[in-house]
Amino acid sequence: MTLQDKVEQWRRETAELEPGVLIAWAWREFGNDVVLASSLGAEDQVLTHLIAEHAARIPVITLDTGRLFGETHDLLNETRRRYDVDLRVFFPDAGKVEEMVNEHGTNLFRESVDLRKKCCAVRKIQPLKRALDGKKAWITGLRRDQSLNRTAIDFVEWDAGNNLVKINPLAAWREEDVRDFLIRHDVPYNPLHDRGFPSIGCAPCTRAVEPDDDPRSGRWWWEPREQSECGIHIVNGKVTRRVPVLVE
């Protein structure tokens, strides 16, 4: 029986599990073959905290694209100091970045959607693929109320884009649940969330938004909205959005 064949059984087994218990289940089921892929967003910080409590041997992987905010680097260092977890940072291939910049310029992402997606592929998608290589499952901070495309998210599902089991411990959480957890447990989070940045990516491609704006409107704001995705999260063959919360 393949991993994909087992997903339905696992979905039934985990339907009522609390996030921390689900994380412990993931470690028992997959051992060294499961990781948390963290963008250092609010949901991922919650999950890092829960991993430290329930399954500290699960690696926490994150990407340093080479264009992150200083505040994001500070949060990475604070997270490493705070939690006794296996935190691993993956970088883009230096040769591919050099080739891309020499051919298209440092800020190629402003030239066209295709070049922006090329930049995302080199700096994000390819390093993530390398980080997930050989794994059987990954844990994410996806929530059902993040977008219309995510209302049917399960706690355990098959990720056809990466051929992995995707585990979403916070699927049933609301934005206020994430905020309350961060405050109650004093979890470190990116201070940019308090400065109008609900969604944080690379510094040149992210800006603050007004309180009533779409949380993703600060990402690649010069592009049509339907194009504004990096391509990491794919559900049922469709790119979906990941929106960290604004912590007040």
Over residues 105-120, the pLDDT tens digits come to: 999 999 999 999 999 9
CA gap 150, 235 in Å, rounded: 8
- Give residue 62's pLDDT band: very low, low, confident or very high (50, 70, 90): very high
Determine contact, residues 63/89, Cβ cutoff 8 Å. yes
Residue 213 banded pLDDT, cuts 50, 70, 90: confident
pLDDT in the model for residue 147: 62
Question: 241 falls in which pLDDT band (50, 70, 90)?
Answer: very low
46, 171 in Cβ contact below 8 A? Answer: no
Question: Is 119 annotated among the ligand-binding residues?
Answer: yes
Helices (H), 65-160: 70-82, 94-104, 113-120, 126-132
When pLDDT is averaged across residues 151-167 and rounded to a whole number, the result is 91
Confidence of residue 236 (pLDDT cuts 50, 70, 90): very low
Catalytic residues: 230
For the chain, the farthest-separated pair of C-alpha atoms sits apart, in whole angstroms, at 52
Q: Report the relative pairing of strands 234-235 and 34-38 from DSSP bridges.
A: unpaired
Mean pLDDT over all residues of the chain? 89
What integer pLDDT is reported at residue 217 of this predicted model? 83
Q: Per-residue confidence at 175, pLDDT binned at 50, 70, 90?
A: confident
By DSSP bridging, strand 156-159 and strand 34-38 are unpaired
The Cα–Cα gap between 215 and 129 comes to 26
Position 232 scores a pLDDT of: 54
**Residue 165 · residue 158 · CB < 8 Å:** yes
Backbone angles phi, psi at 15, to 5 degrees: -60, -30
Tell me the mean pLDDT in the region 49-70: 98
- Which neighbouring-strand residues pair with 159? 164
For residue 37, which of 161, 124, 119 has the smallest C-alpha distance? 124
Out of 1.20.1740.10, 3.40.140.10, 3.40.50.620, 3.40.50.150, the CATH code matching 3-239 is 3.40.50.620
Res 237 pLDDT > 90: no
Q: Is the pLDDT of residue 223 over 60?
A: yes
Q: End-to-end CA distance of the chain: give it in Å, rounded.
A: 47
Whether the per-residue pLDDT at 216 is higher than 90: the answer is no
In 3D space, the residue among 189, 146, 144, 142 whose CA is nearest the CA of residue 166 turns out to be: 142
Residue 158: predicted pLDDT: 95
| 202 annotated as belonging to a binding site for a ligand | yes
121 is in an annotated binding site: no
Average pLDDT over residues 210-219: 82
- From residue 137, alpha-carbon distances to 65, 84, 185, 231 in Å are 23, 21, 27, 18
* Residue 151 pLDDT greater than 80, yes or no: no
CB atoms within 10 A of CB 152: 11
Q: Where are the domains of the chain?
A: 3-239
How far is 20 from 106, CA to CA, in rounded Å? 42
Does 160 appear as a known binding residue?
A: no
Query: Is the pLDDT confidence value at 1 over 90?
Result: no
* Coarse DSSP helix, strand, coil percentages of the chain, rounded to the nearest 5 percent: 50, 15, 40
